[in-house]
Amino acid sequence: MGLTPTSILLTQRWAKTECKASNLTDNPACNSKQWTLHGLWPGNVKVIDPVPLSEDFFNTFENYENIMRTEWTFLGIADQNTYITETKTFWKHEWTKHGYCAKDFIGSEDPKIYFQEALRLYRRANLLSILADNNVTPNDNATYRTYQIINAFDGLRPHVNCRKIGNKYYLSEIIICLNQNLKPVNCGTGDTNVCPEGAITYPET
């Protein structure tokens, strides 16, 4: 992905695209009308025996259920009855795979600090507004080009990923690259799930 050792990725997903998979129709996160956080991922680091999240972590993380339903969502197989349990498992995965390794960026091994910092960065990078300010809005009947999405970021190049469904490409993910001071920087070129040069749908439904 063209990362430097000091890169950290703020990754957000568009639920309307992810939820076009037929087995996700019961997931309450599919009702989201905003970009949701996938994770905050350090690049080019190795996981070294992270301490897993305990249930006590969730008991002390204020308003976590609402955050899970609206901001840091689980876009997998779940329904109203299983959603919070499945999202807890997802958060545990994000911590053991990425969060512990972020300690050099956020200055703490405390998982609460990691999740709070990830949410702060996510809230600061309001993709719905950034794109709308550049006339890129969810619309089932419109299409956009990759450069239109990239140009919305004022000269800082993000990774823009799409999902091909049938014969269409749908905007699915935007990744903002940050430096060791957690400031946005240009991402490198190349990815495994990039959008085509042609028409991209940013779905409303």
Q: Contact 160/195 with Cβ under 8 angstroms? A: yes
Q: Which domains does the chain have, with CATH numbers?
A: 8-126+173-193 (3.90.730.10)
pTM comes to 0.92
Q: What three-state secondary structure class fits 41?
A: strand
Kindly state the tokens that stand for 40: 């905050």
159-190 pLDDT, tens per residue? 999 999 999 999 999 999 999 899 999 997 66
User: 64-90: b or e for each residue (b if 16 or more CB lie within 10 Å)?
Assistant: beebbbbbbbbbbebeeeebbebbbeb
**How many angstroms separate the CA atoms of 205 and 32, rounded?**
10
**How many angstroms separate the CA atoms of 203 and 205, rounded?**
6
Tell me the average pLDDT of the chain. Answer: 90
Instruction: Look up tokens 């300010």; give the residue.
Output: 133
